Chain A
Amino acid sequence: MAVCVAVIAKENYPLYIRSVPTENELKFHYMVHTSLDVVDEKISAMGKALVDQRELYLGLLYPTEDYKVYGYVTNSRVKFVMVVDSSNTALRDNEIRSMFRKLHSSYTDVMCNPFYNPGDRIQSRAFDSMVTSMMIQVC
């Protein structure tokens, strides 16, 4: 149901970014980039490190006419940003949370791979397939 999924590293460069309608990629990349400001704002507003599932989930970052952007940050300040279509009004908060949880667990699986250097682009096929499963419902 997501239209675009991005994993941003702590230093705010993308580790993984993928959008479903591949022709408008630039627009999504731009949205993800601008949403990082909002993420940073929320993180700083959170104050001390709050290691709580609920705190990790940042919620709706900002809505545009067509899209809604949701954010999620991990303990290591790795951010997951998800852009969903506004027409998908049936999407509830819980579903978004569960999608982020899945993302997070796949991300940890990628981390466990000793051949993966933190900071590299994520090229794991398992991660790709998981993201595809999240996005494919749009089409």
Chain B
Amino acid sequence: MPRPFSGKGMACRGHHICSSVLGRKHRSLPRLLKTVILQITELCGAKRVGYFGPTQFYVALKLIAAAQSGLPVRIESIKCELPLPRFMMSKTDGEIRFGNPAELLGTKMQIPYLITEKNTFKRMDDEDKQQETQSPTMSPLASPPSSPPHYQRVPLSHGYSKLRSSTEQMHPAPYDARQPLVQPEGASTGGPGAKPPRHQTSLIRSFSVEREPQDNNSNYPDEPWRITEEQREYYVNQFRSLQPDPSSFISGSVAKNFFTKSKLSIPELSYIWELSDADCDGALTLPEFCAAFHLIVARKNGYPLPEGLPPTLQPEYLQAAFPKPKWECALFDSYSESMPANQQPRDLNRMEKLSIKDMADFPVPIQDVTGDDKQALKNTVDEVLPKDMSEDPATPKDSNSLKARPRSRSYSSTSIEEAMKRGEDPPTPPPRPQKTHSRASSLDLNKVFQPSVPATKSGLLPPPPALPPRPCPSQPEQASEAELHPQLNRAPSQAAESSPTKKDLPYSQPPSKPIRRKFRPENQATENQEPSTTVGGPASVAAAKPHPTVQKQSSKQKKAIQTAIRKNKEANAVLARLNSELQQQLKEVHQERIALENQLEQLRPVTVL
């Protein structure tokens, strides 16, 4: 009897590895006799065909499992439920490639097949590939692209149930088992970068083509770039908070302040702006704003930013996908019926303007999508562009299907949470300082969302990173808020400027000035540094919005501040005196040192000579 696997001369490298791995595996398993192994190889057809194709490998593993569980090594034994085969793998170089399958063998039988498929895809030469395709055992490999609808029907199980391929003399069970994996893999890897960069990303690539037909209700397989209804409403609300008129723009500076709150880095925000401001006018319309917001949310959830604006985030798509009904339900409370009507023609005009440009920039949406996916996307996109208008029924369904799909990263729900959280962050700013905490944004946080409750704010206001932490933050904060009322607190405010409570002015300014923020968004940045000059200014504006509750505490706080001021002044004086004394001592010590050095020099030549 020939040595096991000798016949598997390995015309193809990939198969060689299969067999060598198998051989090694088996050798490391004392329990499986060589005869059994021989039987297995015979049964799975490797011996006949001359190599371990993926299917043979797969079947062989099944047979091994059967053998290990005591079942007779026969084809029929594969059909029943089998525990997974146990292998003791030694981590050699040759096996590292199958290291993943080794781990996964403990979990799923199908994944090794997929891995080997991936590996064989990766490492096969063209001729090998052709060999693969020519052999009858290649039908499973060919099958995924050819029978996508089948995937959706296959239940998520080990799928020993169906025999699919008739040309296969061996077991279609492996192929069936493979299919359910496709669906969960496809479903769970809905987005680019959704999985950690492991073999799964290559699986995404391998199965991206199949995945696309699985997209039930859309022609865009880029799920994370699709805005759901709730997200859309949220974005529209945010837009309205920044700019009441939904048909006009948000200016660049306003948008900048708002997006800076998301704590993304400035280069990333800059890039997101570049992507979303399609007409490069320095302002965001509602669809542009939604796209930008969506990109920010996606980035915060860990998705890498795309190379170009995804098709689902293009302004005309957004406008088409969320037409009047959206406007109506989102805007009815504030606006008349005429508004949506006015917006539509205007939007259409913009669409016309934009459409050409967007067609020109039509991007490759997702960063880590490979060539096949790009091709497929481009094809689907070309089909879909004319169908933009018809997407309306599709998108709500799609959003439902989005949520319905089991995913390890349930994008829609987590993104909503993240977005909501982010949206809520400004109203209740966290007590810790934020990384991209520019001065303007620290003010805006409080200004935009808390126009009326100074008391609660004081406890929550974060200290600006520029100033050192100081004692007793809360009382002086409240007091300094009160100070902004010029009638009451001119004197203490002036005093406050000169004291270390300077730092509290940033807290004090935000609570009372939602109006001022809009008028002078940039001035705020400088105001923190020039409290003396600006307290007067903002104070006068703030006078327009008196806070009756604060006035009650003003007197107490005044005293507290004054005592604090006095104490700090005394401490300052003490430290200054100490400083001068030490300086003097330092001078004296220097002089002594010089004298000693002189002596040393005088003495030295004497000794040398």
Nearest CB of chain A from residue B385's CB, rounded to whole Å: 22
When C-beta atoms are compared, the residue in chain A nearest to B305 turns out to be A125
Cβ-neighbour of A124 out of B266, B269, B270, B282 (below 8 A): B270
Docked pose: A59 CA to B259 CA in angstroms: 42
Specify which chain A residues have a CB less than 8 angstroms from the CB of B109 in the assembled complex: none
Asked whether A115 lies within 8 Å of B270 as measured between CB atoms, the reply is yes
Specify which chain B residues have a CB less than 8 angstroms from the CB of A126 in the assembled complex: 274
Q: Which of B215-223, B250-258, B314-322, B579-587 contacts the other chain?
A: B250-258
Asked whether A114 lies within 8 Å of B267 as measured between CB atoms, the reply is no
Interface size on B, residues (CB 8 A): 16
Find residues 237-288 in chain B having any chain A CB closer than 8 Å to their own CB.
Answer: 252-253, 255-256, 259, 266-267, 269-271, 273-274, 277, 280-282
Within 8 Å of chain B (Cβ to Cβ): is A95? no
Specify the main secondary structure of chain A where it touches its partner. Answer: loop
Docked pose: A124 CA to B266 CA in angstroms: 12
Specify which chain B residues have a CB less than 8 angstroms from the CB of A98 in the assembled complex: none
Nearest CB of chain A from residue B35's CB, rounded to whole Å: 63
Asked whether A115 lies within 8 Å of B273 as measured between CB atoms, the reply is yes
Cβ-neighbour of A112 out of B252, B267, B271 (below 8 A): B252
Asked whether B280 lies within 8 Å of A114 as measured between CB atoms, the reply is no
Asked whether A113 lies within 8 Å of B274 as measured between CB atoms, the reply is yes
Docked pose: A61 CA to B489 CA in angstroms: 63
Find residues 98-139 in chain A having any chain B CB closer than 8 Å to their own CB.
Answer: 108-109, 112-116, 123-126
Asked whether A124 lies within 8 Å of B252 as measured between CB atoms, the reply is no
Docked pose: A109 CA to B269 CA in angstroms: 15
When C-beta atoms are compared, the residue in chain B nearest to A116 turns out to be B270
Docked pose: A113 CA to B274 CA in angstroms: 7
Docked pose: A125 CA to B363 CA in angstroms: 13
Nearest CB of chain B from residue A32's CB, rounded to whole Å: 25
Asked whether B267 lies within 8 Å of A113 as measured between CB atoms, the reply is no
Specify which chain A residues have a CB less than 8 angstroms from the CB of B256 in the assembled complex: 114-115
Specify the main secondary structure of chain B where it touches its partner. Answer: helix
Asked whether B270 lies within 8 Å of A112 as measured between CB atoms, the reply is no
Specify which chain B residues have a CB less than 8 angstroms from the CB of A112 in the assembled complex: 252, 277, 280-282
Specify which chain A residues have a CB less than 8 angstroms from the CB of B252 in the assembled complex: 112-114
Nearest CB of chain B from residue A113's CB, rounded to whole Å: 5
Specify which chain A residues have a CB less than 8 angstroms from the CB of B259 in the assembled complex: 115
Nearest CB of chain B from residue A126's CB, rounded to whole Å: 6
Nearest CB of chain A from residue B201's CB, rounded to whole Å: 23
Q: Given the known inter-chain contacts A123-B267, A124-B270, A125-B274, please indicate yes or no for A114 contacting B281, CB distance below 8 A.
A: no
Nearest CB of chain B from residue A116's CB, rounded to whole Å: 6
Nearest CB of chain B from residue A100's CB, rounded to whole Å: 18
Nearest CB of chain A from residue B26's CB, rounded to whole Å: 53
Nearest CB of chain B from residue A93's CB, rounded to whole Å: 27
Docked pose: A31 CA to B203 CA in angstroms: 50
Nearest CB of chain A from residue B601's CB, rounded to whole Å: 49
When C-beta atoms are compared, the residue in chain A nearest to B267 turns out to be A123
Cβ-neighbour of A123 out of B255, B270, B281, B282 (below 8 A): B270
Docked pose: A109 CA to B280 CA in angstroms: 6
When C-beta atoms are compared, the residue in chain A nearest to B284 turns out to be A114
Q: Given the known inter-chain contacts A124-B274, A126-B274, please indicate yes or no for A113 contacting B266, CB distance below 8 A.
A: no
Nearest CB of chain B from residue A64's CB, rounded to whole Å: 36
Nearest CB of chain B from residue A125's CB, rounded to whole Å: 6
When C-beta atoms are compared, the residue in chain A nearest to B250 turns out to be A114
Nearest CB of chain B from residue A46's CB, rounded to whole Å: 29
When C-beta atoms are compared, the residue in chain B nearest to A110 turns out to be B274
Nearest CB of chain A from residue B440's CB, rounded to whole Å: 11
Specify which chain B residues have a CB less than 8 angstroms from the CB of A115 in the assembled complex: 256, 259, 266, 269-270, 273
Nearest CB of chain A from residue B38's CB, rounded to whole Å: 58
Asked whether B255 lies within 8 Å of A114 as measured between CB atoms, the reply is yes
Residue from the set A114, A125, A126 with the largest chain B CB neighbour count within 10 Å: A114
Specify which chain B residues have a CB less than 8 angstroms from the CB of A113 in the assembled complex: 252, 270, 273-274, 277, 282
Docked pose: A132 CA to B280 CA in angstroms: 20
Specify which chain A residues have a CB less than 8 angstroms from the CB of B270 in the assembled complex: 113, 115-116, 123-124
Find residues 54-88 in chain A having any chain B CB closer than 8 Å to their own CB.
Answer: none
Nearest CB of chain A from residue B393's CB, rounded to whole Å: 35
Docked pose: A123 CA to B265 CA in angstroms: 13
When C-beta atoms are compared, the residue in chain B nearest to A109 turns out to be B280
Specify which chain A residues have a CB less than 8 angstroms from the CB of B267 in the assembled complex: 123
Docked pose: A116 CA to B266 CA in angstroms: 8
When C-beta atoms are compared, the residue in chain B nearest to A105 turns out to be B280
Specify which chain B residues have a CB less than 8 angstroms from the CB of A114 in the assembled complex: 252-253, 255-256, 273, 282
Specify which chain A residues have a CB less than 8 angstroms from the CB of B269 in the assembled complex: 115
Contacts A/B (CB < 8 Å), 20 sampled? A109-B280, A112-B252, A112-B281, A112-B282, A113-B270, A113-B273, A113-B274, A113-B282, A114-B252, A114-B255, A114-B256, A114-B273, A114-B282, A115-B256, A115-B266, A115-B269, A115-B270, A115-B273, A124-B271, A125-B274
- Known contacts A113-B252, A116-B270; can you find 20 more A-B pairs with CB under 8 A? A112-B252, A112-B277, A112-B280, A112-B281, A113-B270, A113-B273, A113-B274, A113-B277, A114-B252, A114-B253, A114-B256, A114-B282, A115-B256, A115-B259, A115-B270, A115-B273, A123-B267, A124-B270, A124-B274, A126-B274
